[in-house]
Structure 1
Amino acid sequence: MSRWTDLPKELLETISKCLDFRVDVLRFRSVCTSWRSSVPFPSFDEDIPPLILKLPMPIGVDAVLSQATICRMEFSRQSKNSSSSESKPKAWLTKIGETKLGKLKFFHPLSNSQVRYSPIMLNLLDFRFFVLSKAFMLKSLSGFYLFGINKVLLFPSSARYSEHELSILAIYHEGKLGYWKYGDESWTLLDDKNFQYDDIIEYKGQFYVVDRWGTVSWIDSSLKLIQYSPPLFGCGSQKNLVESCGDLYVVDRYLDGDRRTWNDYENLDVRRLSFSFRRRRYRMCSPKAIAFRIHKLDEEWGTWVDVKSLGDRAFVLGVDCSFSISSTDFLGGKGNCVYFTDDDDVKGKGLKSDSIFLFRLEDHIIEKVTTLPEYSDVFWPPKIFSA
Structure 2
Amino acid sequence: MDDEIRMWSDLPQELVEKIVDCLDTETDVLRFRAICSSWRSLTRPFKRSPCTPLKLPLISKTSNPFFKDAYYSLIERNVYRIQLPESTEPRFRLVKTERSSDGKLCILNPVCGRRIKILSETQLPKLLNTLNFRISEVCKGYTLRYMNSTNPMGSKKKAKYNFKKVIVSRNAKNDEYDIMAINIHDKVWCIKTGDEKWTLASYNWTNYLNYLDVVNHTGHIYVVDEFRRSLAFDSMLKSTEIICPVYVDLGQFYPVELYNGELFSIDTYRTRVPLGKGCMWIDISRFDKQRKKCVRTNTVDNQIIFLSHDCTFSISAEEFDGSKGTRVFLK
TM-score when scaled to structure 1? 0.61
- Structure 1 residue identity aligned to 2:26: R
Give the deviation of 1:225 after TM superposition.
1.0
User: Gaps (5+ residues) in structure 2?
Assistant: 150-154, 272-277
Question: Which of 219, 230, 239 lines up with 1:216 in the alignment?
Answer: 230
1:135 and 2:146 aligned: no
Q: Tell me which residue corresponds to 2:244.
A: 230
Give the deviation of 1:50 after TM superposition.
3.3
Question: Which of 181, 189, 209 lines up with 1:178 in the alignment?
Answer: 189
- Mapping 1:1-387, distance limit 5 Å: 19-28=23-32, 48-57=51-60, 61-75=70-84, 77=85, 82=88, 88-98=89-99, 105-117=106-118, 121-141=127-147, 147-155=161-169, 157-158=170-171, 165-181=176-192, 182-191=194-203, 192-233=206-247, 235-244=249-258, 245-254=260-269, 290-331=280-321, 334-341=324-331
The 8 Å contact of residues 96 and 106 in structure 1, kept in 2 or not, is answered as yes
Closer/same/farther in 2, CA of residues 289 and 137 from structure 1, 3 Å limit: farther
Query: What secondary structure, in the 3-state scheme, does the structure 1 residue paired with 2:54 have?
Result: coil
Work out the number of aligned pairs and report it.
297
Whole-angstrom distance in 1 between the partners of 2:248 and 2:299: 19
Closer/same/farther in 2, CA of residues 13 and 66 from structure 1, 3 Å limit: farther
The 8 Å contact of residues 177 and 195 in structure 1, kept in 2 or not, is answered as no
- Structure 2 residue identity aligned to 1:177: V
Q: Which whole-Å deviations, capped at 9, do the CAs of 1:13-70 have from their partners, x for residues lacking one?
A: 9988975433345445666899899989879x77624332122218985111111222
The 8 Å contact of residues 137 and 152 in structure 1, kept in 2 or not, is answered as yes
Closer/same/farther in 2, CA of residues 101 and 188 from structure 1, 3 Å limit: closer
Give the deviation of 1:112 after TM superposition.
3.2
The 8 Å contact of residues 26 and 102 in structure 1, kept in 2 or not, is answered as no
Whole-angstrom distance in 2 between the partners of 1:318 and 1:226: 27
Give the deviation of 1:236 after TM superposition.
1.7
Whole-angstrom distance in 1 between the partners of 2:288 and 2:39: 47
Q: Tell me which residue corresponds to 1:350.
A: none
The 8 Å contact of residues 98 and 104 in structure 1, kept in 2 or not, is answered as yes
Query: What secondary structure, in the 3-state scheme, does the structure 2 residue paired with 1:122 have?
Result: coil
Give the deviation of 1:131 after TM superposition.
2.2
CA RMSD of aligned residues (A): 4.3
Give the deviation of 1:321 after TM superposition.
0.5
Query: What secondary structure, in the 3-state scheme, does the structure 2 residue paired with 1:175 have?
Result: coil
The 8 Å contact of residues 146 and 162 in structure 2, kept in 1 or not, is answered as no
Whole-angstrom distance in 2 between the partners of 1:102 and 1:179: 27
Closer/same/farther in 2, CA of residues 66 and 334 from structure 1, 3 Å limit: farther
Identity %: 28
- Structure 2 residue identity aligned to 1:250: S
Q: Which whole-Å deviations, capped at 9, do the CAs of 1:269-320 have from their partners, x for residues lacking one?
A: xxxxxxxxxxxxxxxxxxx884432222334444433334433012110110
Give the deviation of 1:338 after TM superposition.
0.7
Whole-angstrom distance in 2 between the partners of 1:101 and 1:142: 17
Give the deviation of 1:167 after TM superposition.
3.6
Closer/same/farther in 2, CA of residues 122 and 17 from structure 1, 3 Å limit: farther
User: Gaps (5+ residues) in structure 1?
Assistant: 83-87, 257-287, 342-387
Closer/same/farther in 2, CA of residues 27 and 290 from structure 1, 3 Å limit: same
Give the deviation of 1:183 after TM superposition.
4.1
Whole-angstrom distance in 1 between the partners of 2:241 and 2:171: 25
